[in-house]
Each structure stands twice: as structure tokens, then as C-alpha cells.
Amino acid sequence: MKRTVVWGLTWVMVLAGAGLGLADSIKIGLMAPVTGSWASEGEDMKHIVNLLAAELNAKGGLLGQQVEVVLEDDGGDPRTASLAAQRLATQGVKAVIGTYGSSVTEASQSIYDESSILQVANGSTAIRLTEKGLKYFFRTCPRDDEQGRVAAQTIQKMGFKKVAILHDNTSYAKGLADEGNALLKKDGVQIVFFDALTPGERDFTAILTKLKAAKPDVVFFTGYFPELGLILRQKKEMNWPVPFIGGDATNNPDLVKIAGKDAAAGYYFLSPPVPQDLPYEKTKAFLKSYTAKHGAAPGSIWAVLAGDGFLTVTEAIKTTKTTDPTKLAAFLHGGKQKISGLTGEIGFNAKGDRVGEVYRVYRVDAGGNFVLQAK
Amino acid sequence: MEEFFQQLTNGLAVGGIYALIALGYTMVYGVLKLINFAHGDLFTLGAYLGLSLLTSLGLSGRLGPLAGLLLLALLVMGFVALTGALLERAAYRPLRQSPRLSAVVSALGASIFLQNTIMLLYGARIHVYPQDILPKVAIDIGGLSIPLVRILVFVVSLLLMGALYLFIQRTRLGTAIRAAAIDQAAARLMGINVDQVILIVFLIGPGLGGVAGLLVGLYYGQVNFTMGWVYGLKAFTAAILGGIGNIPGAMVGGLILGVIEAMGAAYISVAWKDAIAFMVLIVILIVRPTGILGERVADKI
Amino acid sequence: MGFQQPVTNMTDSKYKIAGFGALILLLAVSPLFLNAYWVDVLNSVGLYALLALSLNVILGDAGLYNMGHAAFFAVGAYAAAYLNTQCGLPILWALPVSGILAGLFGLLLARPVIHLRGDYLLIVTVGVGEIVRIALINNLFGITGGPNGIFGIARPELFGFRIRRPLEFFYLIWGFVAVTVFLFARLKNSRFGRALDCLREDPIAAEGSGINTGRYQLLAFMLGAAWAGMAGCLYATKMTIISPESFSFWESVLIFIIVILGGAGNISGVILGTFLIIGLPELFRGFASARMWVFGLAMMIMMVFRTEGILPHRPRLFKGLDRLLP
């Protein structure tokens, strides 16, 4: 009896879990971390892409067909991602948007390439992803070396002589820290501290005490906003006034909520423009309808870049009037494309990297707002 | 030298929280010989419940900060204790007579379940406690600057631990718990209602875990649904370090683990901090196979 | 442990063998009518089956609580990746080498701690798992590639044929699983297997019967570690990129869950457990973000209803016993 119940339950779940397919639609895959540590990014990605697809379908869809977004969870982990990629590849998607983490994207790259599926990553900034000569791989986000260059430039322009670098040993943060370290050293800036914190922890007083003893002029933090918010807050409690400058993974309004306005004030970071700062009418209208639907604006720029990935793919299909991935890739690589995205005009170079200057310097003001700094 | 003492206070503050969570592990272990891997997620639940109650009831506004926080702590403690007892009934009691590791796997399942319940209810985004509840003042003691809240959190942890210790050592119920921990069958023969003892243990342990979650939320201000996994593993390590099943051991283990981490970060490497803590743990266990305060139990013969 | 009526008589075991044969045949031909995704899910199941079988020797057979098995998996994977990308060793040659290295690592590690009681050993192995992961992230000796890991690992080549597609990997991985099952089943019925059975049930009686318990426990630990290392080598060549996050504490927990939930000490149970634990989250994909919630719930339910695992380990019965019993 008990066994019957267990197996019955299992089968109900199996059947409920079986995928549903719709005929006569263009399927676009979305690979996003909707579970696991980056679930908040994945949630925003899902909302943005679904909303864009709904808007597109309301206007009549693509090539006379409706667009269907097929979501697969990559769990923020490479093994799950490779299975998600296999699954999308067998469901007849024409292109895939995503994903967030670089190593997660890397685990899926060869699968999409072997199945000739266009992939447009949105948050994977590791340099080597586009250095492999993959024909169908693109990304709407900038690369780490670009950010490292801007960071080193900004730090020197501000006149800091002794720099401490703190990363969190993720692939992304370590890459950016190494990049910044090398560039700054080359220009004769003294690096007085270079170490990593452990993501997911809450107490960083031990690190701050050690940092303080190294007496830096500025701390360059390349990790993510949840840890930075706590660091700024605990730094304030220690009454240590050193300035912090950070990378684009700290660009999230929750940063100010975690740190508190007084502790976050004066913090500098580099980033592509924040969603609310995007000067385009189209974007403003989109964010308005997004806020109306989900109660708050999307948290991070990376999710918005997933929306850009969606726009890239659908515009390419619309212009070329085909879903043949080889033709789409040729169109996107062509350099003549002018796609208007949420973060401005989108274009790609021969490697599949996005062209154009994207990084800006922001400063948090006393009211907790992210203020764009003059170049 | 000043840096050394600063790091020592840093370590003790973190260790106080580890110790508070470790108590829940050690109490359950003492009586049931079960590693309750869901304990970390009960801690998370405490942090989230505290946030919900705080923002929806506005207690500190109505009752004043002190009474408000006290009531809040009691509410959180009650809710999490209830969840813990339910968990015991649903996921652990059916496994009491089965091989020990089966219950461990059930606990791991409960951990995944609780963690994802919280994620589905509250969403995956980080949640933030209101900032103006606790005063942000730092106290200067002999050149060291220690935030007042840190001292408060530490003192509260110590008070709770002390109260628990007295409860276990001095009351009739405490005696029953100790008896059940030593030998359940014999305790039953002495007229102790072992099921009731286990229920009480599953009320107190998770209750303390919930309060620890509330303290972490109040002090650090930021909660997310995966936080229990990190704190749970640390607290479990602390409980083992002190000698699992032993209440003063959990306190000592927690404080020592906190200090080792701070010192490892300060004088060796921040990135290797956790590895250093585990290496010290392994060395201590090689020298003292049942932890710092653990009793040496003779093998059954 | 009371005397149990022996359950096997001739007709029963015949059905059993026929049933097993049918299942194996079904598995062997399944990739021919499954799509690439499901074949890859089966590949994932196969890799975890190897890991779970290797942990089963340590946890199920020898009764040593090991919740850091990902450490040996990692050592094997990184050894294979390093030897292949830096020294140009073909990946199938790296297979035994990664096994030996992981086994030696297991031996070195277990030697001082093997005498620890249950849960103390458990936390030590958890610690070792974490130390290994942290060492990998921090680019130990400059050979692990830090958080990026090692990429560009070659695909295996067999007699000039390059194994690349999921279907081809299926036969490589499951072929290795079949060899493993055969060897481990033989081992269970050997002097070694009997010694482990005895020392798990009662170490003192075992010691008294002249079994060198420490030596057997170490051997079991080394064997399990070595096999996990070889699984790591297969994993590395299948993914072609490995990074520290694939060897987290969670992976160790997952393998641990498989063994206990499937039935510690029972080879069929462990394989069935792998299908459930690795396969179910894939079936639950339809639940989207609730998928792990359902998984946790299913895990609790299964454990509560099958408290000794899905296919529990049956104590060995003396073959002549049925003649003695009425």
C-alpha cells in the first residue's frame, strides 16, 4: 500500500513535469538561474524576457508566428546548465538567451554550438568565452578586460597611490581583480592588499581590520553587492572613512538598502548605465510597464541585458526573415546591424562581443541614489 | 597588538552566534543522536519571520524598542519552535527506530524543503531589515572601537546559553533531558516520558536557532534564503569541535571557531580562512577524538 | 538480528535474474530511442552511479561516515585534466593514473583519522572536502587554474574513434559502470567483503576474530577514493571544462544521500537511488522554481516510507541454512 502511494506520487510528478509544446510558434530558449544562489537574477531575467515576448506577441509576433519563450533552469551550476542546454537543444529552439555566470555559460557553449543554436549571453563577462571562435555565440554584456581597463584608469585619475584589491574568488571577480592588479602595477601604483572574502558570509570585520592595517588610499572591490553592502555597513561602524570603488556586480539598488544610506554614501562603482538611467524613451516605457506588472523595477542591469538579448534575436529574425542560425549569425556579425535595445544601440564585432563604450562611473549620493559622474 | 585584540573581539562576536546555533544541534544530537541538518534552515526561518513580524506589526513603535524587541523575540521563538516540533513529528519520528543515517537523509530533505519554501514564499531576492531599530554607537575600550550592538548581541547569546545551561542542570525537566540523553530505555523505565522530552528538545533547539536568526537579521541587516546553509555548517563544526551532545562544549566550540577564523584571516590569509579553521579542527580531533569537552566514551564491549 | 526465512529458492532467483537481464537490456538500447537530452541525463546518472558505488564501499560496506567524497572526485578530475592539458597524456591513459592518485590521497588522509567515531569522522571528511575545494579555488601550486578551473580537456579516443556525442559517452560511462558493478559484486563475496560486513556490524567481534580492522577500513577507504577519482576523470573528459564549483559540499551531500536513500551496502539499491536522486530533479523541471521544493519533499517522503533505503541491504545468510531450518 505504502509503496503504491509512493510510486503513484512519483508518477503524478513525472506527468506534471512533462513539457508542453505549442505548435506553430517560434521558440526562443531562456537559460536562467531560477533556483540556487543567483535565483534573484534569474527571476528578473525571466520576467523581463517574458514581458518583452508578450509585448511582441501582442503586436502580432514574428514572421506571422507567435514567439514562445522556453525557460530552463541552469541552477547557477555548470552541470545543471549542460543538461538545461541539452534539453533546450532537443526542444527545437532557434536561439537561446543566457546565462548569468561565466562558468555556467561555458558549460553550455559547446552544446549550443554543436547543435547550431544561436546563444546570446547576458551576464557572462569572462574574456575567454568569445576567444574560442564560436560561430553562434554572442553577448550583450561587456568583457572583464574592458572593465579592468576603465577601473584602472578611474583609480589613477582620482589620484590614489596605494590601492587594496578585494575579490571573492568567483571566476568573474577574480578575473577583474587580476586585470586591475596587472594594469595598476604596470603604471606604478602600489598594491598594498590582495585577497578574497568568502561569498555568503555576513561578518567581514576580520577582513576590514586587516584591510585597515594595510593603510590603503582606496579599496577596489570586485565582488558582488550582498557582501559589499555588509562591508560598507561594518566599515561605517568601525569609523573608517576610506573610499571604496567597485565593479559592475555591485550595481544593484539593494546595495543601499543593505548598507544603509549613510554607509553607502560616497561609494563609487563602474557599470553600464543602471536600468533607471537609461536615457531611451523605449526603455523608460518598458520599465514603466515592468514596474506596473511586478511591483518594482528590475534590480540589476544584467537582467535588462537579457532583454537586450531577446531584442537582438527577434530583430535579427525580423530583418533577415529567417530563423536559420547561420544566416542570423552572419547578420549579427556583419557589423552593419543597428538594433535598438534597452541599453542603447546593439552591435557586435567579429568575435560576438558587443561594441561600443558602455562603462560609466557612478557615485552613491547622501540620499542613496546612483548618480552618473561626468566622464 | 591593538590589531590582535580587535581581531579577538571580532572573532568572539561571530563565535557567539555560531555557539547559539550550535546549541540546537548539540541538544538534538544529545538526545536523539541525530544530526539535524535542517537546523540551519530553521535559523533562516527565524530571520525571515522576524522581518515579517517587525515590518507588519510595528512592535517597537507601539511598545517602545526594548519591550517591542523582547515580544518579537518571543514570537519568533514560538513560531520556529512550533515548526521544529512539527518537523520532528513528520520527518524524524517515523525514523527513530531505523538506521541513524536514514534520519540524517530525511533531515537533508527537510533542509532542501524548508529552504525552498522560504524562497517560494519570500522570493529569491535579498531582504533587508529596517535600519533604525538598534543604535549605531561604537564604544571605545582601551583603543579598541567596538560597536555597541556587537556587545549586545554577544551578551544576549551568553545570557541565553547560561539560561539553557541552568535549565538543563537545575530543573526536573532538564534532568529528564539529561537522563534521556544517556540512555533512553533506562529513562523510560524510570518513568520519564521520553517522547515528551524529545518534543521539548525540538521546541528549545529550534527556538534558540530562530532567535539566532533574528539576532543575525537585526545586526547584519541582510537576510537571504541560503544563509542557513553557511551558518548551519559552521555551527555544526562548532558543536563537533566542542564535543557534540555537550552544552558547554557547543559554547566553547562556537567561540573558539569564531576566534580561529578571525585569526586565520588576520595573520595567514582571508581566502584560506575556512580551510584553516577545518585544518585546526582536524588536528584537534586527532589529538582529542571526541572534541574539546566531549567525554571519552568507551566503546561497547 | 534474528534468523530470517531465506527468501531465495530456485524459481525466485531465476525470475530475479531474468528481470535484471531485461532491465539491463532496456538500459542498453534506451539511447537508440531517446533524444540527446535524455541520453545526457542518463550519462549524468551513470557518473553519479559510479560515485555512489565508490562511496558505497566506504559508507555502506565499511560503515565509515564520509561526507566529503567530492574531494576524491575532484582530485581525480583535476589530475586527469592537468595530465591531459599540460602533459598531453591521452585521457583514457589518465584514467588509471587519476584513480591511483585519488586512492593515495584517500589513504594519506584517512590514515590519521580513521579511528574517529561516526559523526566526528563525518565532519572531518566534510572539512577535507572544503579544504580541497578552497585549495582548488586559490590555485594551489598554480596548477588548478583558480576559480576558472581547467578547460580544453580532450575527448577520449578509443582505437582512433573519438567519443564526442552523448550517445557515445553513454556506452563509455555505462560500460564502466557495468565493470564496476561486476568487480564490486565479486568483492562483496570475497574474503575482503566478508571482513567488511563483519567489522561494520561489530568491530570488536571482528577484531576478536582476527580481522585487522584498521587495515581493512583503510583499504576500503582507498578503494572508494580511487574509484571516485576515475569517475572524476570521466567527468572531466565529458565536460571538457572543470571548475571548483562542481566539487562543492553539496556534491558530497548528494552522493551521500544517494547511498543512504538507495540502500547502503546494496549495489542495486545504490543504482536505483542514483536514478531517483539525479533523475527526479530533471523530471521536475516542469515545476520551474518549485523544482527543488518538490525534490526535498519527495526525499523526505521516500525516507519516511522506506526507512532503510529503497532496497535495503540484506544480511548475508549461510547457504546451507535453509537445510538446517525447518
| B265 inside domain | no
pLDDT band at B59 (very low <50, low <70, confident <90, very high): low
How many residues in chain B? 301
- Domain tally, chain B: 1
| Structural domain contains residue C291 | no
* Residue A15 predicted with pLDDT over 50: no
**Across the interface, which of C146, C148, C292 has its CB nearest the CB of A35?**
C292
Taking the CA of residue A292 and the nearest CA in chain C, the distance in Å comes to 22
Cβ contacts of B237 on chain C, cutoff 8 Å: 123, 126-127
- pLDDT higher than threshold 50 for residue C7: no
DSSP 8-state code for residue A192: E
Residue B297 or residue B82, greater confidence: B82
Domain region containing B174: 14-226
User: Which residues in C lie closer than 8 A to residue A79 (C-beta atoms)?
Assistant: 44, 239, 246
pLDDT at B183: 86
The yes-or-no verdict on residue A332 having pLDDT over 50 is yes
Lowest mean pLDDT among B194-208, C94-108, C145-159: C145-159
Q: Which of B5, B14, B43, B220 to mutate to test the interface with A (most CBs of A within 10 A)?
A: B220
Return d(Cα C104, Cα A124) in angstroms, integer.
37
Range of the domain at C231: 35-248
Q: Which of A71, A73, A115, A222 to mutate: most C Cβ within 10 Å?
A: A73
In a domain, C69, yes or no: yes
- Residue of higher predicted confidence among C165 and A240: A240
Angle at CA of residue A136, ends A133 and A141, nearest 5°: 85
CA dist C104 and C79 (Å) reads 12
Common-topology check for domains A24-142+280-346 and A145-271? yes
- C285/A73 CB distance under 8 A: yes
Helix, coil or strand: residue A62: strand
Distance CA B148, CA B133 (A): 13
Q: What is the pLDDT of residues B142-173, one digit of tens each?
A: 777 777 878 888 888 888 888 988 998 899 98
Distance between B257 CA and the closest CA of chain A, angstroms: 13
Encode pLDDT of A207-217 as tens digits: 888 888 889 99
Average pLDDT over every residue of A115-143? 88
pLDDT band at C58 (very low <50, low <70, confident <90, very high): very high
- Tens of pLDDT along A355-373? 877 788 888 888 888 888 8
Choice between A374 and C211, residue whose per-residue pLDDT is larger: C211
Cell numbers describing residue B230: 553557511
- Closest chain B residue to the Cα of C313, Cα to Cα: B99
pLDDT band, very low/low/confident/very high, at A21 (cuts 50, 70, 90): very low
The pLDDT assigned to C325 comes to 55
Q: Which of A199, A181, A191, A179 is nearest to A218 (CA)?
A: A191
| Contact status, residue A208 vs residue A240, Cβ threshold 8 Å | yes
The pLDDT confidence band at residue A20, using thresholds 50, 70 and 90, is very low
Cell numbers 552572419 correspond to A330
Question: B140: which strand partners?
Answer: B145
In a domain, B172, yes or no: yes
| Residue B288: predicted pLDDT | 84
Query: What number is the average pLDDT over the span C6-13?
Result: 54
Arithmetic mean of pLDDT over chain C: 84
Q: How far is A198 from chain B (nearest CA, A)?
A: 7
**Structural domains in chain C (count):** 1
Among A165, A210, A215, A302, pick the best mutation site for testing chain B contact (most B Cβ within 10 A).
A210
Q: How many CA atoms lie within 13 Å of B151's alpha carbon, on the beta-carbon side?
A: 13
Contact check, Cβ <8 Å, A230/B261: no
pLDDT, averaged across chain A: 84
Burial grade of B6 (CB within 10 A; 0-12, 13-18, 19 or more): buried
- Within a domain: residue B4? no
Cell numbers that stand for A204 in this block: 567581514
- The pLDDT assigned to B18 comes to 92
The ipTM of this complex is: 0.84
Q: What CATH code is assigned to A145-271? A: 3.40.50.2300
Q: Is the pLDDT of residue A88 over 80?
A: yes
In the predicted model, is pLDDT for residue A190 greater than 70?
yes
What is the tens place of the pLDDT at every residue in A262-306?
Answer: 888 889 998 877 777 777 888 888 888 899 988 888 877 888 899
- Chain B residue with minimal CA distance to A232? B220
pLDDT of residue A23: 47
**A3 to chain C, closest Cα gap in Å:** 8
Alpha helices in chain B (DSSP H): 2-32, 39-57, 59-63, 65-87, 100-122, 148-170, 172-182, 184-189, 194-220, 227-242, 247-267, 273-287
The verdict on B173 touching C (C-beta cutoff 8 Å) is no
From the list A202, A203, A204, A197, the residue with the least C-alpha distance to A173 is A197
Residues facing residue A67 across a β-bridge: A26
Please say whether the beta carbons of A309 and A98 come within 8 A.
Answer: yes
pLDDT at residue C320, rounded to an integer? 57
- pLDDT (tens digit, 9 = 90+) per residue, C211-269? 888 888 899 999 999 999 999 999 998 888 888 888 988 899 999 999 988 888 888 88
Q: Which residues of B touch C256 (CB under 8 A)?
A: 105
Grid cell at residue A25 = 510558434
The answer to whether residue B46 sits within a structural domain is: yes
pLDDT, tens digit (0-9, with 9 covering 90-100), for B75-113: 999 999 999 999 998 888 888 888 888 888 899 999 999
Contact, B91 vs C300, CB < 8 A? Answer: yes
List, in order, residues 6 or more apart from A73 with CB less than 8 Å away: A32, A33, A34, A35, A42, A80, A84, C285, C288, C289, C291
The pLDDT score that the predictor gives to residue B150 is: 81
Of A100, C105, C130, the closest CA to residue B281 belongs to C130
| CB proximity C92 to B under 8 Å | no
Tell how strand A137-139 and strand A162-167 pair up. Answer: unpaired
- Chain B 240-259, CB below 8 Å of chain C: which residues? 240, 244
Please tell me the distance from the alpha carbon of residue C77 to that of residue A2, in angstroms, as a whole number: 41
More confident call, A221 vs B144: A221
User: Which residue numbers of A have CB closer than 8 Å to B's CBs?
Assistant: 34-35, 37, 39-40, 42-43, 169, 195-198, 200-203, 205-207, 209-210, 213, 226, 229-230, 233, 236-239, 254, 257-258, 260, 299
- What is the pLDDT at residue A189? 87
Nearest residue on chain C to A170, alpha-carbon basis: C147
What Rg, from alpha-carbon coordinates, does chain A have? 22
Element of type H or E holding A29: strand A25-32
C89: left (phi over 0), alpha (psi -120 to 50) or beta: beta
B279 in any annotated domain: no
A326, A113 Cβ separation under 8 angstroms: no
Angle ∠(B219,B224,B225) on CA atoms, nearest 5: 130
Asked if A200 and A168 count as a contact pair (C-beta separation under 8 A), the reply is no
Average pLDDT over residues B187-201: 90
Q: Do C127 and B282 touch (CB under 8 A)?
A: yes
Query: C318: part of which helix (H) or strand (E)?
Result: none
In chain A, domain spans: 24-142+280-346, 145-271
Q: What is the pLDDT of residue C12?
A: 65
Of residues C119, C289, C292, nearest to B35 (C-beta)? C119
Look at residues B98, B89, B82 and name the one whose alpha carbon lies nearest to residue B195: B89
pLDDT tens column, B233-263: 899 999 989 888 888 889 899 999 999 999 9
Give yes or no for B189 touching C (CB within 8 A).
no
What pLDDT shows up at residue C36? 78
Contacts of A22 (CB under 8 A, 6+ apart): A66, A68
Lowest mean pLDDT among B68-77, C6-15, C75-84: C6-15
Query: Is C323 within a domain?
Result: no
Beta bridge partners of B144: B141
**Angle formed at CA C50 by CA C47 and CA C52, multiple of 5 degrees:** 110
Q: Does domain A24-142+280-346 have CATH number 3.40.50.2300?
A: yes
CB A104 within 8 A of CB C243: no
Cβ separation B145–A239 shorter than 8 A: yes
User: Is residue C318 very low, low, confident or very high in pLDDT (cuts 50, 70, 90)?
Assistant: low
SS3 A335: coil
* pLDDT, position A106: 86
Q: Best of C300, C305, C310, C314 to disrupt the B interface by mutation (most B CBs within 10 Å)?
A: C300
Residue A343 DSSP SS3: coil
d(C-alpha C127, C-alpha C108), whole Å: 15
Does residue A225 have a pLDDT over 90? no
Categorize the per-residue pLDDT at C167 as very low, low, confident or very high, splitting at 50, 70 and 90.
Answer: confident
Q: Best interface-test mutation with A: which of C35, C37, C235, C304 has the largest number of A CBs within 10 A?
A: C37
Judge contact between A150 and A359, C-beta under 8 A: yes
Tens digits of residue pLDDT in C181-206: 999 988 888 888 888 888 888 878 88
Residue C258 lies in a domain: no
Rounded to an integer, what distance in angstroms lies between the CA atom of residue B194 and that of residue B86? 17
B87 in a structural domain = yes
**Exposed/middle/buried for C186, CB within 10 Å: 0-12, 13-18, 19+?**
exposed
Which residues in C lie closer than 8 A to residue A174 (C-beta atoms)? 146-148
Please tell me which of the candidates B95, B113, B289 has its beta carbon nearest to residue C120.
B289
Answer yes or no: is B241 within a domain.
no
pLDDT at residue C145, as a whole number: 81
The answer to whether residue B300 scores a pLDDT higher than 80 is: no
